[in-house]
Structure 1
């Protein structure tokens, strides 16, 4: 076990100050600056996709585009620009999301997951789908069932503005 200023290592793991960790990793992998681009991108992935500044501090000259995972994870687009009032009663606000295509497929060949959540009660319904086009039929079944159970209509439907819920069928059902 090596003890460093503000941190320590156990095996290959470092606990403590980030600047000390960079110095430690740099000392342990000194010939890393001589590696090829393929090995540099491998180290980028092994170190948990650090920023270009961190890699330059370690002596890794890299291109501006390292990997698609890093580019996607650093995107900061907010899906909603409005503030939601807290719903008071059930079915005041329902949130929808369609997850998939799930690889490998789930049990019985299901590739998509439809999640429906009531914001006021936090009640959630999960439906497993074989095709993305099944989302409308499953949601309409859940809508009719929940509206009959609660004796209320759904007031607001919120989604992540994905194309799967922006079509004529969902608009007609919502009205």
Structure 2
């Protein structure tokens, strides 16, 4: 602690005792509580604060925003609250949620304490704004009405339903659907485990190709391990079937199968748990 002398704008001098020097603090602060211990009274009004010692006025601070500033010779300022500093526009822009500059200017007139900027916005492209404004293209709200194939078995949509809490009488907790894009024919197989998807697809392929005389050309699914395992990939390659996998976290690309599988509070989940397999069959 030390003693500091201040020369005010009216030419008078004031001495402050017990002053702490803290390099990390930007600006100087005067403690009203410490002044009160020295019998100095602070009288605050809406536009200024007057410090009195007995009947004499010691110094006067003008209000600036939400702080009272005491001006001294050399324009040194002692603040009665934390001093604010100007920041680069890029920093303020990011801190305020990447708002446009015009919105920032409006904010300055609407609220106190808005950080000030040290420079004007440039033509530099903000990476955060680009990321925040990216969005997916709109997908069809009715995938069941959108046919993307020219004939039966040209494209098969498939998806595995989320596990059911209650097993079927046959002990199954999973179901896999295979939907022909052209005819919209739906085939459902119940399974005890996801690893049975390849077995069910082989059965589906044999039944459908024998019934129609046509070959499956493409299979569309998500990136689940039941579809991307080594055995499944080898089988598709040997059969000449092209596997179309959706982009991660984009179920809309396989919307027909996703829409068919009841999820959450869907129709199948509204049925008695022990009879879902029989109802679907």
Which structure shows the bigger proportion of residues in helix conformation?
A: 1
The structure with the larger Rg is: 2
Compare relative contact order (CA 8 Å, sep 6+) and give the higher one, 1 or 2. Answer: 1
Give me the TM-score of the superposition, normalised by structure 1: 0.49
